[in-house]
Amino acid sequence: MRLDKWLKVSRLIKRRTVANEACDGGRVTINGRVAKASAEVKQGDVIAISFGNREVKVEGITMSLIQTTAAINYGNSGGPLLNRYGQVVGINTIKIVTEDGSAEGLGFAIPSRRGKYVADHLIAGEEIKAGIFGFMVSTAREEGGGFMLRSVERGSDAWTKGLRSGDILLEANGMPITGLETLTRLKLGLGAGDTVTLTCLRDGEKFTVDVELVEP
């Protein structure tokens, strides 16, 4: 996507309330101009389990995207994906097409949280750095709530701050961790060097630690 498109979308996001989350099955709208045809408006639904949880590999880069049934065409790329309140929830970016026509309605958008993070840093002349937490989390929810750390990468800030496998993550930046998508959504608006406050449980005692995201 060209920088000028990023700037236009960033300004649009700032003018309207950004919806960082939306209900699965929620109605969304896209608009744009395909080739030399007149502007068009199309609607569809969000079909991901939660915003930003569809990982798609494009030219060797894995991206966490919103999947929608709204018909995204070439003229829609870079335009906003809007919810029923007119809030920007994503930036239209990819349409998957198969030669045999077996795949229909496979449209994807960059979550607005990630788009705003990237655009703001580009406008400020800052480098964009992907960030990871430096630990692996179990996919199974613990009986008392939270998710157990399966492993912590040595050398990461999480390791330096004392997190170890077996610790249970309860909250991130004050938000209860109800599923792995909670961490995914949070990470969309962050990069390497940004800090997340984690509330954890170990041996029946809660503790809080500020962990800095590291480069992959």
CATH class of the domain defined by 135-212: mainly beta
The mean pLDDT of 76-86, rounded to a whole number, is 82
Instruction: Please tell me the predicted confidence (pLDDT) of residue 38.
Output: 60
- Give CA–CA dist 84/45, Å, rounded: 11
* Buried/exposed code over 101-114 (b: 16+ C-beta within 10 A; e: otherwise): eeeeebbbbbbbbb
Does residue 202 surpass a pLDDT of 90? Answer: yes
Q: What's the angle, vertex CA 66, arms to CA 10 and CA 63, rounded to 5? A: 80
Q: Where are the domains of the chain?
A: 3-123, 135-212
Query: pLDDT tens across 47-78, in order?
Result: 654 444 556 776 666 677 888 877 777 767 77
Name which of 62-71, 173-182, 198-207 the model is least confident about. Answer: 62-71
Domain 3-123 belongs to what topology? Answer: Thrombin, subunit H (2.40.10)
Query: Tell me: the pLDDT tens digits for 99-131?
Result: 666 556 678 888 887 888 888 888 888 888 778
Q: Angle at the Cα of 168 (from 167 to 171), degrees rounded to 5?
A: 130
Inform me whether the pLDDT recorded for 192 exceeds 90. no
**What sign results for the dihedral spanned by CA atoms 124, 125, 126, 130?**
positive
pTM of the model: 0.62
